Chains A and B, each alone.
Chain A
Amino acid sequence: MQFLAYILRQTGKNLRQTWGTQVMTLLTVTLSVLIFAFFFLIYTNMLRASARLGDDVRLIVYLDQEVTEQMRPGLEKKIHDFGPVEKIVFVSRTEAFARLSAQLGKEKDILNDLGPDFLPPSIEVYPLKNLNDLTRISQFSDFLLTLPHAAKVQSGSDWLRRFGYFTNLLRIVVLLSGSLLIISMTFIVSYTLRLTVLSRQGELEILRLLGATSAYIRLPLLLEGMLQGLLGSGLGLTALYFLYQWIASRFSGPGFLKLFDFAFFPPELTGAILLAGVVLCTVGSLFSIRRFIRI
C-alpha cells in the first residue's frame, strides 16, 4: 500500500515538473491516434461494405445459340471445374423476354413489334462469395468467354474492381498512419521521459546513493508512459467518435453513408486501439528507462 502511494506520488511529481512537455506529448499522442483511427474506421467500413456488395456479384455469359437440355450438364460441369460456384441459371430467349417485359410493366407495349427472339440467351453464374479476390473474378470471366457459343461476358465487376483498388489504397494509408502512430508514440514518449529523467537527474543520483530499488526509480516513469498512452488514445478515440457523430448527422438520410451503413468501431476494437496505445507508450518509456537510467 505504502509502496503504491510512493509510486503514485512520484509519478504526480514528475508530471508536475515537466507539465508543458507532458501536454505537448499528450497532444501528439492524441493526434496520432486520431489520424490512425480515422483512416482505420473508413477502412473497416469499406471492408464491410464490399463484403456486402460482393454478395451480388454475378457473371452473365451471353450466348449466340440456345442451350439445349442435353448441353446443360456438360456446361455446368465445366464451370464447376473451374471454380466454386454458388449457382448457375440458364436463361433462354423466351425467359429473357418474359423477364424484360415483367420489368417494363405497363410499358411492355414497346416490345410488341419485336419478336420474342430478339434477346440473346444467357447463363448466369454466381461465384461463391469471396470478393476480396477480384482477380479471381476477372479470371472467371475470361474463362467463361471460352465456353462454346459464348459471345460476351458481363461481369459487372468493373466498378467493384475500382472499389477494390480504393480499398487497397486505403489499406496502405492505414498502414502508413499506423507506422506514424508507432513512431510518434514510442519516440515522443521516450523523448518526454528523457526530459523527466534529466530534470530529475540530481534526485535520481541521490536516490541511487540511498539505495532506492529499481522499482522505486523506474515504476513512476513507466506509469508516466502508460498514463500518456491511456489518456492520449482515450482522447483521440473520443475525438474520433464526435467527428463520426458529426459526419453521421450531417449526412444522414439516403446517400453514400446509408449505402455503406457507416458505423463506429465495435467496443472490442475500441478497446484494442486503446490497449495498443497504452502498450506503445509503455514500450516508449521502457526505451528511455533502459537508455537513460543507470541503477
Chain B
Amino acid sequence: MPRDASTDKPLVELVNVTKIYPPDVVAVEDVSLRIYKGEILFLTGMSGAGKTTLIKLICRLETPTRGLIEVAGRDLSQISTAGVQRMRQKIGVAYQDFRLLDKQTVLQNIAMAMEVTYASTKVIRARVEELLALLNLSDKRDKLASELSRGEQQRVALARAAANGPSLLLADEPTGNLDPAATELVINLFRHLNEKNGSTIVVATHDPSIYAETEHRVMTLNNGQLSAHPNRSPRQIELFEA
C-alpha cells in the first residue's frame, strides 16, 4: 500500500549517503532515499552494487562515511547505544548470510529475537508456531539450524526477522535459495506483515520474479548509485523524485 509521499514523514531517510570501505571501496555513493511508513520497497542491482551495504547502514551495522541517515526521525550518528538496541528490537533484519546459530534449534533461533524483548514464553511459542506455519516449516521446529537446507535456513532467518512484528523489515536476498512455491510463501508473509501489522518492508533482491508484477516502488543500485528502476511506470518515477 504505497502512501502519499508528500504528507507522510519518512520512516527512513538517507541524505547524500556515501559508504567507503577501507581503503577505497566505494560501496554506496551519494545516495538519497526516503522510505515511507507502510511502504514496500524493492532494491535491485547487480552483485556488488551495494544493496547489502545499504541495508546495513539503515540498521546501523555500518556507519556512513558521509551523509545523514535518519530512522523514525532520529539521526543514527547521534543515537546512544541503548537507543540502537531499542531500534534494533523494532527492526527485523533477514541477513543475506542468515546469521543463525547452528547448534540451536529452529524454535530457539526464532525465539531469541523475542526473548530480548522479554516476551513471555507462551507468547513466543504461539508466535513461532504461527510463523513456521506461514513459511511451511512446522515440521522443522525442533531441528538444529545446521541440519536444514539453505532454503529452509533462509526462511528461518525471515521468521526471526518477522518475529516481533517489526515496524521495519529489511530482507536481504530473501528468496535466493527458494523455489517458486517457497518464494510465494515469503511474498505472502511480506504482504501479511505489511497489511496486518503496517510494517514497512525493504527487499534487496536480484530475483526479478518477485518484483516484476508489483505495484510497489522498485529502485536500482548501480555501482553504489541509486536510481529508479528502468521500465517502471511514471508513478514510480514520481515517487522516487518526491
Contacts and interface: CB of A to CB of B under 8 A. Distances in A.
Interface residues of A, number: 16
Q: Is the interface of B mostly helix, strand, loop or mixed?
A: helix
5 contacts: A202-B101, A203-B101, A209-B99, A210-B112, A211-B85
A3 B119 CA distance: 9
B119 A210 contact: no
Interface string A196-226: 0000001101110111111010000000000
B120 interface: yes
A211 B112 contact: no
A3 B86 contact: no
Interface in B56-94: 61, 81-82, 84-91, 93
B81 A211 contact: no
Q: Is the interface of A mostly helix, strand, loop or mixed?
A: helix
B147 interface: no
A2 B120 contact: yes
A211 B116 contact: yes
Contact of B61 (A209, A214, A295): A209
B92 to A, nearest CB: 9
B101 A211 contact: no
B101 A213 contact: no
A210 B87 CA distance: 9
Contact of A211 (B88, B100, B160): B88
Contacts of A207: 112, 116
Given A211-B90, A211-B91, 6 more contacts: A207-B116, A210-B88, A213-B82, A213-B85, A216-B116, A295-B81
B118 to A, nearest CB: 5
B115 interface: yes
B177 to A, nearest CB: 20
A2 B116 contact: no
A19 B160 CA distance: 30
Contacts of A2: 118-120
B112 A214 contact: no
Interface string A116-150: 00000000000000000000000000000000000
Contact of A210 (B81, B82, B89, B118): B89
A209 B91 CA distance: 10
B239 to A, nearest CB: 30
Contacts of A3: 118
Contact of B89 (A202, A203, A205, A211): A211
